Chain A
Amino acid sequence: MIVLVGIAIIVAGFALRLNTLLVVLVSGIATGLVSGMSFNDVMAEFGRLFLTNRFVTLPAVMMLPLVGLLERHGLRERAEALIRQWASATAGRVILLYTGVRQVAIALGINVGGHVSAVRPLLVPLAEGAARASHGILRKSTVDRIRAHAAAAENVGNFFGEDIFIAVGSILLMKGFFEGVKIPVNVWAIAFWGIPTAVAAFLLMGWRTRALDREIAREAAAAAEEDQQP
């Protein structure tokens, strides 16, 4: 039972918002010490495991100069222009389109998007603009509803697209873990089995964004009715 101390440290450390990397290391040190290793042994073992798992970080680093260079020359702006061209009509459709673009892009290993760099400056204005175009002025509660769904689209698109591309940390982490316990797995097989859930996630977003459009229409109608009463 005492070897579970590492898990307790992770839960406590994350809850206290301590630096995740340091929490992980302290958890490993504690686990090693309680299982009877000396501090030096733990360091050697962690060092060995850190080295053999360098391949988990490697592709991300190798991709950065390429992605940075393309960003410098307007990759994001081009993606934006495409969304603007396609996105006619409703807030829900804009958000759904973003989910799809986000999923496909990250499945190709391109991390366009993010709450800071895409949701707030790009997706929220487009979605709110589409809703205002058809319903006029929106209540704060309606605006908040649109924004919450925009943030959800970012998370869903990100999480359920990334496991299709083999060069991202999560798939390589899985491979590293299984190699650690001496079970060979093929990264392409892992990526393949990520596809059904990615499709399901997109369809669910389709259902949620249609519901969002209906909610927006209902709330806008209710607001208009209130305005007409003396």
Chain B
Amino acid sequence: MSFLDLGEFYVLAGALMVATAVRVGLDAGHPRRWGLASFWALLGVTFVFGSHFPPAVVGYLVLGIAVLAATGNAQGSREATTGPAERVASAARLGNRLFWPAVLVPATALVGSLFLGQVRWRGHFLADPANRSVIFVCAGSLIALATALRLTRSSLGTAVGEGSRLLQTVGWALILPQALAALGGLFAQAGVGMVVAGLVERALPTQHAPVAVAAYCLGMFLFTLCMGNAFAAFAVVTGGIGVPLIVQAHGGNPAIVAALGMLSGFCGTLLTPMAANFNLVPAMLLELDDKNAVIKAQAPIAVALLAFNLLLMEFCVYRF
């Protein structure tokens, strides 16, 4: 047992989602009032009560959430906030003090993970050791919020409204990483990784440790080029090459595999029109004649960084 675990924070985050559902539901003029309200209500329920439901119920809830997201019911915010003039005046008044609360979050996370995480009282940890860093980030965000409320002399209701506004702006994309992590788990159970590993082992001499590293980094890069999303590629390529061939077969460091593998995938994101919102939408938004101009501007950086990631992983993954 510990004094702080993720459960309390899940309830708080879920409460913000439910509050968002209520705010949208009360907005009579909202064009997608009920779809959006149901989306946030269902998601909020999985956070607040999820642990008490049978997993199959949660699965069907997630299916409902995904259908609501796909029918165009889950993005865009109508919440009122301050205007530009007000913000400029407030920025001038508060100055660099505006940055302090924001810096408090990583500071709390760092101090918490390094020192407070060891604190024990009558055999109970202050924070659940398995999820220490996430817990201290969440605790840090609450401490920073309290500081920001004092600094700006705002009410908690204002903060909830602003949080709800941003939640609606992010929309369904908020849970995409979570859904992809779940998909990775499902792929692992179905043995997708083993099949991919088998194909790669047949094609390349991966019994040589450096070949495994090259296959992994280039695999992340190429899969991201095709899928347009490094997170989706990560589940497939790390399950198929990174874990079985680098970590398990050759004893590579999983943190280095993860970090540099994902960053190799990001090099692919810089080069693919599949990542439309990063590469094509800005070209249209900035009224460029050549729709591939952004990709062309990024190409030298993407190739150089891919080479950098690959070499850094070759040098470090079996040494640290």
Contacts and interface: CB of A to CB of B under 8 A. Distances in A.
B101 A57 contact: no
Contact of B56 (A14, A17, A40): A40
Contact of B266 (A51, A64, A160): A160
7 contacts: A53-B182, A55-B6, A62-B12, A72-B152, A144-B290, A178-B243, A181-B188
Contacts of A57: 13, 174-175, 177-178
B108 to A, nearest CB: 11
Interface in A142-194: 144-145, 147-152, 154-156, 159-160, 163, 165-167, 169-170, 172-178, 180-181, 183, 185-194
Interface stretch (B24-32, B85-93, B118-126): B85-93
B6 A74 contact: no
Interface of B: 6, 9-10, 12-13, 16-17, 46-47, 50-51, 53-63, 65-67, 69-70, 81-82, 84, 87-92, 94-96, 98-99, 101-103, 105-106, 109, 113, 131, 133-134, 137-138, 141-142, 144-145, 148-149, 152, 154, 158-163, 165-167, 170, 172-192, 195-196, 226-232, 234-236, 238-239, 243, 247, 253-256, 258-260, 262-263, 266, 269-270, 274, 276, 278-279, 281-283, 285-290, 293-294, 296-298, 300-301, 304-305, 308-309, 312, 316
Nearest to B139: A62
B191 A35 contact: yes
A230 interface: no
A6 B182 CA distance: 13
B177 A170 contact: yes
B162 A71 contact: yes
Contacts of B191: 3, 35
A85 to B, nearest CB: 12
B177 A51 contact: no
A48 to B, nearest CB: 4
Interface residues of A, number: 116
For the complex, would chain B's binding face be called helix, strand, loop or mixed by DSSP majority?
helix
Interface string A88-105: 000000000000000000
A109 B304 contact: no
Contacts of B55: 43-45, 47-48, 51
A181 B102 contact: no
B58 A51 contact: yes
A189 B247 CA distance: 15
A167 B109 contact: yes
Contacts of B254: 178, 183, 185
Nearest to A165: B106
Given A58-B13, A193-B256, A196-B308, 16 more contacts: A21-B69, A25-B66, A31-B186, A47-B55, A49-B186, A58-B10, A73-B152, A147-B288, A148-B286, A155-B298, A160-B266, A172-B177, A173-B231, A174-B259, A176-B181, A176-B184
A223 interface: no
A46 B186 contact: yes
A214 B249 CA distance: 49
A173 B166 CA distance: 21
B137 A62 contact: yes
Nearest to A170: B262
A73 B91 contact: yes
Given A34-B190, A159-B270, A188 B88 contact: no
A56 B186 CA distance: 16
Interface in A86-125: 108-110, 115-116, 119-120, 124
Interface of A: 1, 3-4, 6-7, 10-11, 14-15, 17-22, 24-25, 27-28, 31-32, 34-35, 40, 42-51, 53-78, 81, 108-110, 115-116, 119-120, 124, 140, 144-145, 147-152, 154-156, 159-160, 163, 165-167, 169-170, 172-178, 180-181, 183, 185-194, 196-197, 200-201, 204-205, 208
A189 B316 CA distance: 13
Contact of A70 (B53, B98, B263, B316): B98
A74 B297 contact: no
B258 A47 contact: no
A3 B239 CA distance: 13
* 5 nearest CB pairs, A to B: A68-B162, A74-B91, A43-B59, A47-B59, A47-B58
A13 to B, nearest CB: 10
A178 B87 CA distance: 43
Contacts of A64: 16, 162-163, 166-167, 170
A65 B16 contact: yes
A47 B45 CA distance: 13
Contacts of A44: 54-56, 59
